[in-house]
């Protein structure tokens, strides 16, 4: 039974590390901001959950397990909020830049 728990904890940690690395490659590889955000989403949901579940299986102390669960819940509640705020700010900035460019080109066409 002990060996089984040990192996499954190692398995969870391995999957978590692999998902994390995939997210890291995604953030370097994807072409623009919004697609990179999806890559970060992978590392913040399933990868974090897998690594923390691996740690929960690894150690038997109850209080430490409770703390790990608190960290997991906090990450899951925080990541969509931060992601939404970031995407919203980026979208507003894009819109503003587009308007700016339009104004500039209008000014240019009226002066030329």
Partner 1 sequence: MRHTILLSLYLAAFWLANSGHYSALMLSLGVISIALVVFIAHRMDVIDHEAQPLHLTLKLPAYFAWLIKEIFVSNLLVVKHIWLGNKSISPVFMTITASQKTELGKVIYANSISLTPGTVTVNIEGDKFLVHALLTQSIKDLESGDMDRRVTQLEN
Partner 2 sequence: MLIAATLAILVVMIMAIMRVFIGPTLYDRVLAVNMFGTKTVLLISLLGFVMGRPEFLDIAIVYSLINFISVIGVLRYSDHFIFKQSGQSKK
Binding site for partner 2 (CB under 8 A): 9-10, 13-14, 16-18, 20-21, 23-25, 27-28, 33, 36-37, 40, 43-44, 48, 51-52, 54-55, 58-59, 61, 64, 67-68, 70-71, 74-75, 78-79, 81-82, 85-86, 89-90, 92-93, 96-97, 100
- Name the residue nearer to partner 1 (CB basis): 81 or 111: 81
Structure tokens at 22: 């995939």
Transcribe 15-74 into DSSP letters.
HHHHHHHHHHHHHHHSSSHHHHHHHHHHIIIIIHHHHHHHHHHH---HHHHHHHHHHHHH
Sorted by sequence, the CB contacts under 8 Å of residue 30 that are 6+ apart come out as 36, 38, 39
- As measured in angstroms, the least distance from the Cβ of 110 to partner 2 is 21
Q: Which does 96 bind (CB under 5 to 8 A by kind): partner 1, partner 2, none?
A: partner 2
Q: Is the Cβ of residue 60 or residue 109 nearer to partner 1 in the bound state?
A: 60
Q: How many Å apart are CA 108 and CA 71, to the nearest integer?
A: 54
């Amino acid at each position: 039974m002990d060996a089984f728990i040990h192996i499954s904890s190692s398995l969870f940690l391995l999957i978590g590390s692999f998902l994390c690395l995939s997210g890291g490659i995604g953030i370097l590889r994807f072409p623009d901001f919004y697609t990179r955000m999806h890559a970060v989403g992978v590392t913040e949901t399933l990868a974090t959950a897998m690594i923390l579940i691996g740690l929960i299986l690894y150690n038997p102390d109850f209080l430490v397990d409770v703390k790990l669960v608190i960290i997991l819940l906090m990450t899951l509640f925080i990541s969509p909020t931060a992601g939404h705020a970031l995407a919203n700010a980026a979208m507003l900035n894009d819109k503003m830049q587009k308007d700016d460019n339009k104004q500039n080109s209008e000014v240019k066409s009226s002066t030329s």
